[in-house]
Amino acid sequence: MNAPSKMKKSVVITGGNRGIGAATAILAARNGWDVCISYNRHGAQADDIVCRIGEAGGKAIAVQADMACEDAIVAMFARCDAELSPLGGLVNNAGFLGGESYIEDFDADAMRQLWDVNVVAYFICAREAVRRMSRKRGGAGGAIVNVSSMSAESGGIGPRAHYATTNGARRTFTFALAKQVGPLGIRVNGVMPGVIDTNFNDDFDNEGRNERLKALVPLGRVGTGPDVGETIVWLLSDSAAYVSGAVVPVTGGMF
């Protein structure tokens, strides 16, 4: 098992109610972490994850927090402080596709909204986590994992250039933050999922998607939330104690 150190610690997982976030929350709890998951919608699913963790003997809370709202993010971390063990990890995972649009239909306001959720929120969450985990501020150190996408390198598909661009920013942020906070005792890594069977694409590309795309994956199947979650939990753990500034592709060999 990839357990954290002997001192009990908590991890904040944004967008932890579904898909990759939910799988990561369950795996993290199984590996000894207290878990705080955020959600914006689908509160019943968030409550279900908390219930499943509790039934397995773990401790978890779910906090409704719009990642476009700084005050909501700050309040989420405050609840984690009040109800869980000292913070030792952050998984920046929440985000959205922002629809599909070609450049001739570019909407600057929509892009700003997408940027707020997919990028600015990563900075705010990291700020709050570093304030708590930094050894220079009395913390015990910790780990941050940023979830990006293989579109950060490939550019994704044409009408999702705006989404791919935010993932490129997430990837760059991972490298830069690792250099900045390493001296504070905080490791920063990322994962770049490929084709994963989650609800993330349901509004735009659901029917037949997995069957259609699995032929492009060298391992011959579409990935699952736990495929990515296992990598995230390992990066959070002391087993990855000398891994920082890495972005791990979880793509089944697809590039």
Output phi, psi for 141, to 5 deg: 85, -175
Among 39, 102, 163, 242, the active-site one is 163
Sheet strands side by side (includes 186-193)? 60-64, 34-39, 10-13, 87-92, 142-147, 186-193, 247-250
Neighbours of 83 (CB within 10 A): 14
Helices (H), 14-139: 19-30, 43-55, 70-83, 108-115, 121-133
DSSP secondary structure code for residue 142 in this structure: E
Instruction: Answer yes or no: 242 catalytic.
Output: no
> In DSSP terms, which residues pair with 35 in a beta bridge?
11, 60
Residues belonging to the chain:
255
Q: Which residues belong to the active site? A: 163
